[in-house]
Amino acid sequence: MPEFSVPATFTIPEDASAVDSVFEFAKTKPGHIVYRRLVNGTWTDVNARDFAEQVTAVAKGLIARGVRPGDRVALMSATRYEWPLLDYAIWAAGGVTVPIYETSSAEQVRWILEDSAAVGLIVETAKHSATVADVAAAAPELRAVLQIDPSGTDAGAVAILTADGADVSDDDVQTRVRDLKSADPATLIYTSGTTGRPKGCQLTHSNLIAESKGIVASTLGGLLTQPGVNTLMFLPLAHVLARAVSIAAFDAGAALGHTSDIPNLVPTFAEFRPDFILSVPRVFEKVYNTARQKAHNEGKGKIFDIAAATAVEWSEAQDTGGPGLLLNIKHAIFDKLVYSKLRAALGGKCQLAISGGAPLGARLGHFFRGLGVTIYEGYGLTETTAAFAVNTIGNQKIGTVGKPLAGNAVRVADDGEILLRGPVVFGGYWRNEAATAEAIEDGWFHTGDLGTVDADGYITITGRKKEIIVTAGGKNVAPAQLEDHLRAHPLISQAIVVGDQKPFIGALITIDAEALPGWNERNGKPSATTVADLLADADLVAEIDAAVAEANKLVSHAESIKKYRILPVDFTEETGELTPTMKLKRNVVHTSFAADIEKIYAG
């Protein structure tokens, strides 16, 4: 079995906890800016002293309400300043945070509240309160529901908890913090559940600290620790990736801002001007596709496409001896004409980006490096406290997910499955010994992902074991590569490859509604034309045919897509086909669009 390990560069004391840094900063650097908070339309600085005081005040309120060490407190909110404030306060009270996506249904909330035995639930809005009202009332251990946003004459959760804890001593909070052990559970994260009922993944304070120290100890930490560095967090903090990187950025001394207003992300970038960005590949795809679409709509499409190809070629040359004089000249010209505008769309200061949650794709990685914003792709799961491996400054191979962080080891099983071990790997699922025994064997976590590890330790992920399609002819096909390439097309929103036990590989394809108006205009279609109107349109079919043909170049003839269907609707989280982090729920798609899949193979 191929195996690669990276020595640990740090130790974690038994009495350490993830909340320690809050009080350490307040003590040693009280004036240091740890957050930038949007107040009445203005980004306002929050220093370490004030933040620690707020965390203490909220923790006192939780203690006054009877939260005991080890109690679970659920938090259902979009990404905003109060999210980390409440998270750290729950820890300071000795509790365990149970994140819930703010888009969760009542049934999903019911399961999490019951399975976790949460004693408290904090939601964000009145809409959330209405969603959870019935299931919260039925949850056996739940004692209270608070709402972050004030409602009517009621104050918000932070103000209520602060008032409740007025008579509790600060020393009581410090005692709770001192009593925490690194081996204690810090959070219970329910997997998004692309199949089956979500499992509670229990992560300890030690897991979170190891993740933070691993990131900060890498060369990425060199940027995070620079004075005045800040980042804008817009991914859902209920997801382990955003939360873990937020903790690492905080520990490193970077200032964090928050927004959940994704439609207005570009103007928010311009206001906030982040030094680095954490995102998922779909956001980077949208940045690229939106820029390309805009250029084509303005009649500058040919220039953009040449500029994009030049960026990719220039980046690829970095790994093969460096670009020649002519390529450098072309790159410099397009830097002024095209690349500088794209950097400006990210705020103008962005030095790098970190990508995780799904495969980025080499083409997109080379494109962004070529325009001057290198994306460092990483890999991990909820069970590994987010990033297990990541490409870092000076240690990058585009197309891979990088090397393991310090202290971690990777092994490839005989069947190609990626196995992981190290301080970031969880100890098991909450109250689910059978699932834990299935996932962890001889100290190695079985990820369910397929991949390879090269001699330098760089990991390449090729697919999921459960997603492997076996055609009627016995050919094994990993769908991820084809799907990623199709989604990179500006007109395509989502793609799912099908064909298990079928005579050939097919695909379902959805169209990006935001890209459609520009495409309609360029192709002489009425502006109000919808996807449903275009399902048999020769121009649309020709464009998707070309996209499929390009994707098929990546695979053998037996693995290539032979037939596809364009769907009149898109896959969304609201309709159940996508998780909150934009991953396909294949079982849902296969059920909801069974008739469309069968039509691919009819006749």
pLDDT 10s digits, 269-305:
999 999 999 998 888 888 888 898 889 889 999 999 9
Tokens coding 218: 């890498």
For each of the domains in the chain, give its residue range(s) and CATH number, in order of start: 18-180+227-274 (3.40.50.12780), 278-465 (3.40.50.12780), 468-601 (3.30.300.30)
pLDDT at 111 over 60: yes
Q: What are residue 191's phi and psi, to 5 degrees?
A: -60, 150
Q: By CB neighbour count within 10 A (0-12 exposed, 13-18 middle, 19+ buried), where does 391 fall?
A: buried
Half-sphere exposure of 547 (CA within 13 A, CB side): 26
Specify the amino acid at residue 210: A
* Per-residue confidence (pLDDT) for residue 232, from 0 to 100: 98
* Per-residue confidence (pLDDT) for residue 337, from 0 to 100: 94
Please give the Cα distance from 29 to 252 (Å, whole number): 13
Q: Taking Cα atoms as reference points, which of 521, 196, 519, 505 lies closest to residue 495? A: 505
Are 377 and 391 spatial neighbours (Cβ–Cβ below 8 Å)?
A: yes
**Residues 85, 88, 92, 95, Cα dihedral to 10°:** 110
* Per-residue confidence (pLDDT) for residue 293, from 0 to 100: 86
* Per-residue confidence (pLDDT) for residue 465, from 0 to 100: 86
Give the confidence band of 196 by pLDDT, cuts at 50, 70, 90. Answer: low
* Per-residue confidence (pLDDT) for residue 391, from 0 to 100: 96
Q: Taking Cα atoms as reference points, which of 7, 391, 19, 428 lies closest to residue 219? A: 391
Helix, strand, coil distribution of the chain in percent, nearest 5: 40, 25, 35
Please give the Cα distance from 587 to 218 (Å, whole number): 38
Segment holding 20, helix H or strand E = helix 20-28
* Per-residue confidence (pLDDT) for residue 464, from 0 to 100: 84
pLDDT 10s digits, 133-154:
999 999 999 999 999 999 888 8
Q: What is the reported pTM?
A: 0.87
Place of tokens 């959070």: 187
Please give the Cα distance from 61 to 20 (Å, whole number): 19
pLDDT 10s digits, 534-566:
999 999 999 999 999 999 998 888 899 999 999
Give the confidence band of 192 by pLDDT, cuts at 50, 70, 90. Answer: low
Percent of residues, the chain, with pLDDT higher than 90: 83
pLDDT 10s digits, 208-249:
999 999 999 999 999 999 999 999 999 999 999 999 999 999
pLDDT at 402 over 90: yes
Please give the Cα distance from 110 to 288 (Å, whole number): 39
* Per-residue confidence (pLDDT) for residue 335, from 0 to 100: 97
pLDDT at 477 over 70: yes
**Residues 215, 219, 224, 225, Cα dihedral to 10°:** 110
Average pLDDT over residues 154-181: 97
Q: Which residue blocks in 139-264 are alpha helix, DSSP H? A: 157-164, 170-179, 205-217, 221-224, 240-252
Are 430 and 440 spatial neighbours (Cβ–Cβ below 8 Å)?
A: no
pLDDT 10s digits, 258-276:
999 988 998 999 999 999 9
Give the confidence band of 505 by pLDDT, cuts at 50, 70, 90. Answer: very high
Please give the angle made by the CA atoms of 216, 220 and 221, to the nearest 5 degrees: 30
pLDDT at 193 over 90: no
Please give the Cα distance from 476 to 466 (Å, whole number): 12
Please give the angle made by the CA atoms of 72, 77 and 79, to the nearest 5 degrees: 120
Please give the Cα distance from 272 to 255 (Å, whole number): 11
Which residues, 6+ apart, have CB-to-CB distance to 546 below 8 Å? none
Helix (H, G, I), strand (E, B), or coil: what is residue 347? Answer: coil
Edge-to-edge, what's the strand order for the sheet holding 144-147? 144-147, 120-123, 72-76, 96-100, 185-190, 200-204, 428-429
| Parallel/antiparallel/unpaired status of strands 72-76 and 120-123 | parallel
* Per-residue confidence (pLDDT) for residue 252, from 0 to 100: 97
Average pLDDT over residues 456-464: 92
CB atoms within 10 A of CB 459: 26
Mean residue pLDDT across the chain: 94
Average pLDDT over residues 339-348: 93
Q: What are residue 194's phi and psi, to 5 degrees?
A: -65, -25
Percent of residues, the chain, with pLDDT higher than 70: 99
pLDDT 10s digits, 407-451:
999 999 999 999 999 999 999 999 999 999 999 999 999 999 999
Please give the Cα distance from 250 to 576 (Å, whole number): 34
